[in-house]
Amino acid sequence: MNRIIPLSAAGYSALACLRAEGRGTQNILERLFQPGGAQGWNRLRAGEPVFGHWKQADGEEVVVSIGSDDAIEIQCHGGILSRDLLVESFLAEGCELVSWKDWIVQNSVNPIEAAAKRALTEAKTHRVAMILIDQLRGALQNAIQTIIDRLINRNSSSAIQVLEKLTLQSNFGKHLKSGWSVALIGSPNAGKSSLINAILGYQRSIVLSQPGTTRDLLTARTALEGWPIELVDTAGLRSGGGPLETKGMTLALQQASRSDLVLLVADASCGWTEEQDQWRSQFENVLVVHNKQDLIQHHQGDRPDGVPTVAIASNGVQQLCEQIVLRSVGRVPAHGVAVPFTPTQAEVLDAALDLVKSSKLNDAVELLSSLLHEA
């Protein structure tokens, strides 16, 4: 059956791209498309784009290209109506509508390739895309095949070494799609919102001199050193607040507990408190930020190590960003290294490692092979 696949995302854009494929697709095209110029259909050659008009969409201007496999790609205006009119004209010719996600799976050699292609469509930064391209080119597939070969040859100790390296990379890989979450907590009016605005370079959070301006969680996405980071501004932490403030503090602590990094923002012009020590010990990955360095008038006593900043002047913000990447993203895999990047891949590798350590080598081979079967 002939198929029509909308390749570009639904919505408004400059251009939309469609792909039609299947036996006799060019015959369908002849009924729907009128090439421009005096040569008409004589101009249609594989790989060469041709401008013309779509007969079934009020003469919509389109660019058509025929591939070497007789598939056809059509570029039209990116509005929803224009794209839908072209799709409907193919459906009227008996074509089947296929989503781009299904098309990717059907045209992938194995599940890893299909997952990498899907993940690339959602890659938020160039550095994320480059790691996914490594996996698309076979880095992860080759590593898994190496493990399988070693298990078949009963070289379990060597297989365990490769498996353990892959499972360690899983924690990095799971963030390629979602990014790394960084929660800012601290006393009211310590400058959390000002810090977020300074990092972003624009005012995302409301900043007032009155403590407790932020009550709900406020998120903002950015990229630091090429890695996707989600900053979360939270309510100020203090005892004795009302019900609304208490709810905000509960949300703040819950968010901090599930974040990859917690920035404990402290007012450097005030003394360090036992309460701040309690917050610091409550979370595993905490970076202290001593804000308002410009307001220090006398020695405030001992304070833990941290990053000094003046958020309203952006002083120290560059150093803070460097520390955020170092403490949240951590060690970055080298070019070409295998990185598991989906929950399924991570679960299979963890389970396979347990099987190998239990001397169930055949079961581990079967489980790992499920990642390499045809998609």
To the nearest 10°, report the CA torsion of 56, 58, 61, 66: 10
- Find, among 117, 98, 102, the residue nearest to 6 by Cα: 98
Model confidence pLDDT, tens digit, residues 2-46: 999 999 887 788 899 999 999 989 899 999 999 987 666 666 677
Query: What residues does 21 pair with on adjacent strands?
Result: 3
Length of the chain: 375
Q: What is the pLDDT of residue 42?
A: 64
Contact 111, 18 (CB under 8 A): no
End-to-end CA distance of the chain: 20
Whole-Å CA distances, 201 to 196, 197, 363: 8, 6, 53
Angle between helices 80-92 and 25-32 (to 10 degrees): 120
Q: What is the pLDDT of residue 126?
A: 97
Tokens, residue 330? 């951590």
Q: What is the pLDDT of residue 208?
A: 41
Estimate the share of the chain in helix, then strand, then coil, as percent rounded to the nearest 5: 45, 20, 35
Measured distance CA(191)–CA(3) in Å, rounded: 56
Mean pLDDT of the chain: 90
**DSSP at 295:** G
Model confidence pLDDT, tens digit, residues 251-288: 989 999 999 999 999 999 888 999 999 999 999 999 99
Topology (CATH level 3) of domain 177-329 = Rossmann fold (3.40.50)
Contact 177, 119 (CB under 8 A): yes
Find tokens 């939270």 and name the residue: 234
Model confidence pLDDT, tens digit, residues 82-139: 999 999 999 999 999 999 999 998 889 899 999 999 999 999 999 999 999 999 999 9
Residue 206 has pLDDT above 60, yes or no: no
φ, ψ of residue 235 to 5 degrees: the values are -65, 150
Tokens, residue 19? 């792909």
The set of long-range contacts for 346-352, using a CB threshold of 8 Å and a minimum separation of 24, is 346/167, 346/170, 346/173, 346/174, 349/163, 349/166, 349/167, 349/170, 350/167, 350/170, 352/147, 352/163
Give residue limits of the domains in the chain: 3-106, 111-174+341-369, 177-329
Tell me which CATH code domain 3-106 carries.
Answer: 3.30.1360.120
Q: Stretch 290-303: mean pLDDT, rounded?
A: 82
Q: What is the pLDDT of residue 210?
A: 46
